[in-house]
Each structure stands twice: as structure tokens, then as C-alpha cells.
Amino acid sequence: MLFDSHIHTEFSADSEMKAAEALAVAEKQGIGLVFTEHLDANFTAKDGKAFSFAPHAYWQAYSRLRGDNLRLGVEIGMRASTRDFSEEFSRRVPFDMIICSQHLVDDIDIYYPDYYEGKDKQEAYHRYFVQMAENLKAHSFANTLGHIDYICRYAPYEDPDIVYEDFADEIDAVLRTAIVTDTVMELNTRRLGDREALEKLEPVYRRYKEMGGHFVTLGSDAHGADAIGAHMQLACDFAESIGLMPVTFCQQRMVNCLR
């Protein structure tokens, strides 16, 4: 069974989706889910939202739903200053899957225009990838590195897509770190409806394979029911065409999605 391994419900500050709603949509699609609620420790967004949750309350609310079609995880925003807290948080309950993602660069939220002010694309993306590699090495307890192309969603440049050749050294450092730390790359499906975005990502994932990567998780990063399972089969076919196996995690052990 294919798993959408990146889902946010009402335990995430930026989602109001109910678990039952998500599970009903997944059942219709014939896919499994991993709920991965947000933790960006010691961070409050401009709208006043704090990206944290109570893990024991999360477990109490959802553990009865956990089973063959649902796993319970967390998405941790990586920063050097919160690394120790984040690892301790990840051990408070037996999370099935830990995604670590780069949401802030130089402690600035890259969702907002502030990060890009006074920077051209080369500088902005260089800093993003450099900190991603550094933080992933430090957050070696991660199972998965989330959405390497996250910055492309919000960057204000005329062509926000990642061009591998423009950032080959920086991207290779991220991929090398993922392989050395035994962290699986996520293929995030949110942008895959854009054919050009998919084409620009292909060299990144081919390079991952060349460097010794074998696996990917697939995740929609859905915050609402309408995004669950988005482009999942396309992502699966894309991964297989490169020679990467789609997997998910249960009790932080890798599970082949295609068996």
C-alpha cells in the first residue's frame, strides 16, 4: 500500500483538519497515512501561531486509530539552537516516523519575504542548502529529510525552481549527509502537478541515486483533506523510474510501500 507520509491535522498550528476526515479520504484513495505534526521549537510565526504540540495529548487522541493504515509521526524544524530539545521531544512518545525539515534559515522564516530581501537567488538558496546539510548532520535522529524544494514554494524570484547545476556542490552536501546519516529523502508531492517543477527535481533525485541513495518517502504535506494523496502515483512512478524505492516508517523501521 502506498503511504502519504507527510500529513498535518489539527495538532499542527497551521491545520484544522480532523483525523477522521483525513482517514476517510485516504480510505477512498486506498492509501495509508502518517500524521506528522509540526514542531518548530521556540518559534512563533508572525500571525502568533506557535509551532508545537503536546505529544502525550497527541498520542492519547490518536493511538486508538493507529494501525496498518495510520502511523503517528512528527515533523521537526531544524535549527542548531533547538537541536537538543527537538531530539528529547522526539523521544517523549514512540513516534513511528520523524521528518526533519529546513523551515528557517539564519533563524528567519523563509515563508515570509523578509528572508529574501537584499539577496539574489544564488545567495538565498546557497544559505538554505548549507544550513540544511549542517543541521541534518546534527539531527541524525531523523528518519526522513522533508521537502528539499520547500524554498521554491515561497521564493519571489522569476524562476524559483532548483536548478541542480547552479547549486551542485551545496545539494551534493545535503545528499551526502542524508546517506551518511541513514536519512531517507522525501519526495514531496505538493509541487508535482507542475511538470516543470518535476523536471527540475529529477536531476536532484538522480544524483541521490548515483551517490548511493536507495529509498524515498512520498508525502503531500497536506494541511487539508483536498490535498491528501496529491500526485501520489505520479511520485511513485517517478521514483521507480530513477530506481528509488518508495518506503514509509513504522516504529521508526523502514517499510516497503510496494509489498
Compute the mean pLDDT over every residue in the chain, rounded to the nearest whole number: 97
Q: What is the pLDDT of residue 259?
A: 66
**pLDDT tens by residue, 7-33:** 999 999 999 999 999 999 999 999 999
**Angle between helix 195-210 and helix 168-180 axes, rounded to 10 deg:** 60
Per-domain boundaries in the chain = 3-256
Q: How far apart are CA 225 and CA 8, in angstroms?
A: 10
Contacts of 48 (CB under 8 A, 6+ apart): none
- What CATH code is assigned to 3-256? 3.20.20.140
Q: Read off the pLDDT of residues 71-129 as tens digits, 9 standing for 90 and up.
A: 999 999 999 999 999 999 999 999 999 999 999 999 999 999 999 999 999 999 999 99
Q: What is the tens place of the pLDDT at every residue in 151-202?
A: 999 999 999 999 999 999 999 999 999 999 999 999 999 999 999 999 999 9
